[in-house]
Amino acid sequence: MINFASGLPDPRAIPVSDLREILIEVIEEYGYKALQYAPTRGLPEFIKVLTRFVHKTRGLKALPEDILITTGSQQALELITRLFVNPGEIVIVEEPSYILALNVFKLRNANIIGIAIDENGLRVDILEDTLKKLRREGKRVKLIYTMPLHQNPSGISMSLDRRRYLLELAEEHDFLIIEDDAYALLGFDDLLTPALASEDRFGRVLYLSTLSKTLAPGLRVGYLIAHEDVIMKLAAIKQACDLGTSTLSQAIGAKAIEKSVIDKNVERIKRLYKIKMDLMIEAIDEFFPKHIWRSSPGGGFYVWVKLNRDIDTEEVLKLSSKCGVLFTPGKRFCVNQDLCRDAMRLSFSNPSEDSIKIGIQILGDILHSNVKTPCY
């Protein structure tokens, strides 16, 4: 199987031998404390180094009280939704958006509205029109979920003026912004755009990120930065949900930051993923039909392809999976599924370099023969 469907990191992106060393140091240094309950808000040693880390890497000024450690950033998203969104209330997402964010909002029975993105990210003009229309109807948007950098599933980043405009709209229309910053450090150039939250003068942004893409997803460690009052409320819900995130994982995260293992790993894996993305887009440009559109990701794990024809990519998947090639059909990322019917998310993070070219070629063949090619 050539798997362009999953968002699993490349096995080589996980610094196993560094982590082996860290594990031994953690047990030596923390002893039983690495294996005991930690406060629900998080292991104090981890929170402390995180404040420095997010300042250095994302331009964020956070006090320890502003941080909640979560079981992956997925949990942060779920906790925020439970606190701020009541069933039936309006949540806005980018179209397309992260599938498991949509799942969280659906589980909460939120009223989900999708706003299109283009090459410069969220169409804030359409957003503004929608907000005005909703206001006229007496409806209120509770929150907007966005991934401003190297978005999942498109790989697109929001332009700086749109980011600023989004912050202004949040203040004017009184909504919160969830900034999911999971792929921020995996930008292929060395320009580091600060977090949207670092420009937030109004206290509208709830910032979340994770160690899953930069260190190891199996640790299940994410973090949420917001005002202390919000963090306290979220921690109370988290306590009922899981008492706290793995203490061992948090101690590992603390050591990995202290020893600059994450910094070094990020420099290494950015190059790895850039090579894989280049292979993928070259292959797409070579093997896919000419009238398609694809994104040009500046980072992250994913390329988004629009086939620009009347076709449901769920059907393409049925064929390609018979030939051993998986991807994720566009509809799954969209509220207005028709708009994404002919789209596909192609993940280059996990498959090997060799298999990327072969897999794209197989997909190209299927697309060229009008989706009827049997597996060859």
Residue 246 lies near a copy of itself (rule: CB under 8 A)? yes
The window from 34-42, 133-141, 156-164, 289-297 that contacts a copy of itself (CB under 8 A) reads: 34-42
Residue 165 one-letter amino acid: Y
For the bound state, the minimum distance from the C-beta of residue 238 to a copy of itself, rounded and expressed in Å, comes to 10
Q: Binding of a copy of itself at residue 237 (CB under 8 A)?
A: yes
Interface with a copy of itself by CB under 8 A: which range of 68-76, 151-159, 287-295, 305-313?
68-76
- Those residues with Cβ within 8 angstroms of residue 285's Cβ, 6 or more apart along the chain or in another chain: 294
Work out which of 4, 5, 9, 146 binds a copy of itself, going by CB under 8 A: 9
Residue 59: CB partners within 8 Å, gap ≥ 6? 194, 195, 198
CA angle 270, 56, 69 (to 5 degrees): 85
Contact with a copy of itself (CB under 8 A) among 19, 54, 67, 366 = 19
Distance CA 371, CA 374 (A): 9
The smaller minimum CB distance to a copy of itself, of residues 11 and 138, is found at 11
The residue range among 133-141, 145-153, 243-251, 287-295 that interacts with a copy of itself, by the rule CB under 8 A, is 243-251
Interaction of residue 74 with a copy of itself, rule CB under 8 A? yes
**Does residue 16 belong to the site contacting a copy of itself (CB under 8 A)?**
yes
Radius of gyration in angstroms for the set of CA atoms belonging to the chain, rounded to a whole number = 21
How far is residue 258's CA from residue 265's CA, in Å, rounded to a whole number? 13
Two tokens at 342? 């002919």
Q: Which long-range contacts (CB under 8 A, 24 or more apart) does 351-360 make?
A: 351/2, 351/3, 351/4, 351/276, 353/275, 353/276, 353/279, 355/2, 356/2, 356/276, 356/279, 356/280, 356/283, 357/279, 357/283, 358/2, 359/2, 359/4, 359/325, 360/280, 360/283, 360/284, 360/287, 360/288
Residues found in the chain: 376
Provide, rounded to whole angstroms, the least separation between the CB of residue 67 and a copy of itself: 18
235 lies in the binding site for a copy of itself (CB under 8 A): no
Among 3, 25, 35, 326, binds a copy of itself (CB under 8 A): 35
- How many Å apart are CA 75 and CA 209, to the nearest integer? 11
Closest contact distance (angstroms) between CB of 240 and a copy of itself is 5
Which residue in the set 116, 126, 241, 323 belongs to the binding site for a copy of itself (CB under 8 A)?
Answer: 241
Q: How far is the CB of 243 from a copy of itself (least distance, A)?
A: 5
Q: Is 162 exposed, middle or buried (0-12, 13-18, 19+ CB in 10 A)?
A: buried
Which window, 47-55, 96-104, 257-265, 266-274, contacts a copy of itself (CB under 8 A)?
96-104
Residue closer to a copy of itself by CB (options 153, 364) is 153
Nearer to a copy of itself, 118 or 242 (CB): 242
- Name the token pair of 103: 């799942």
d(CA 342, CA 340): 6
Q: What binding mask, one character per residue, do residues 175-214 give for a copy of itself by CB under 8 A, x or -? A: -------------------------------------x--
Q: Is 326 helix (H, G, I), strand (E, B) or coil?
A: strand
Q: Which of 2, 5, 34, 226 binds a copy of itself (CB under 8 A)?
A: 34
Which residue number, 109 or 370, has a Cβ lying nearer to a copy of itself?
109
Applying CB under 8 A, the residues found at the interface with a copy of itself are 8-9, 11, 14, 16, 19-20, 23-24, 27, 31-38, 70-72, 74-75, 78, 100, 103-104, 107, 212, 216-220, 237, 239-249, 252
